[in-house]
Amino acid sequence: MSMPNARIGLYGGSFDPIHWGHINSAKHLANWLALDKLTLIPNRIPPHKNASNIDASHRHNMVKLVCQQESLFTVDDRELVKTSTSYTVETLAELKQEQPQSTLFFLIGMDSLQTFTTWHRWQDILQLAHIVVSTRPGYCPKNNNQEVQTLLAQYQVNQVADTKHRSAGCILLAPEKNWDISSTQLRAAVNNQSKCTDLAPKYILDYINRYKLYR
């Protein structure tokens, strides 16, 4: 169900598997940005990067489980079902076409910001959405490379309110929060049969155990 003039967050990732770091940072950003909806978009992992070799349907199912628990969250599987390379700009263009009145907020990490100007048609991404960057404690703007400094000088705004009157084109650095959990850490803990409840919700761990994933 689409809402006219909705503020929609888009959070892509391999979610291999989804964990508390993803969930808590997404909730924090949704709250800060006053989003109406937050859409999780599991990526198709290229074969050379597939660290876990689990079927994409399992990653999708685990994200769906999170969405059942979090009323603000929805899942979009368009990148998983696509057989060709998924470019962010194409996904955003499709979503904007489906919901032309909505304002899209594309959530990325600080590591993605550092390479953003090398992304396919990155200027077009800024025509379609605002970019919201999760910063980590200890982040220092001076450490950005020259391309990123130029990018921020052109597009950065300092307050969420600055995005209210523009449909796209702002870059916002989100307040620092540190949920230092990685999927790599969770996969290793599962493989070692370590305690994982501080890394992911119990229902995700139950799913992993039921299908004997990541061993």
Per-residue pLDDT of the chain (215 residues; tens, 9 = 90+): 556 689 999 999 999 999 999 999 999 999 999 999 999 999 987 655 655 678 999 999 999 999 999 999 999 999 999 888 889 999 999 999 999 999 999 999 888 999 999 999 999 999 999 999 998 777 777 788 899 999 999 999 999 999 998 999 999 999 887 778 899 999 999 999 998 999 999 999 999 999 999 98
Locate all alpha helices (DSSP H) within the chain, ordered by sequence.
Answer: 20-33, 56-69, 78-81, 88-98, 110-115, 122-128, 146-155, 183-191, 202-210
- C-alpha–C-alpha distance, residues 179 and 182, integer Å: 9
Other Cβ atoms closer than 10 A to 34? 11
- C-alpha–C-alpha distance, residues 108 and 43, integer Å: 13
| Model pLDDT, residue 140 | 78
Give pTM, 2 decimals.
Answer: 0.93
All structural domains of the chain: 7-178 (3.40.50.620)
Which residue in this structure is represented by tokens 């990325």?
Answer: 108
| Model pLDDT, residue 49 | 64
| Model pLDDT, residue 159 | 95
| Model pLDDT, residue 214 | 94
| Model pLDDT, residue 5 | 85
> Quick one: tokens of 113?
């910001």
Strand partners, 181: none
- C-alpha–C-alpha distance, residues 70 and 84, integer Å: 31
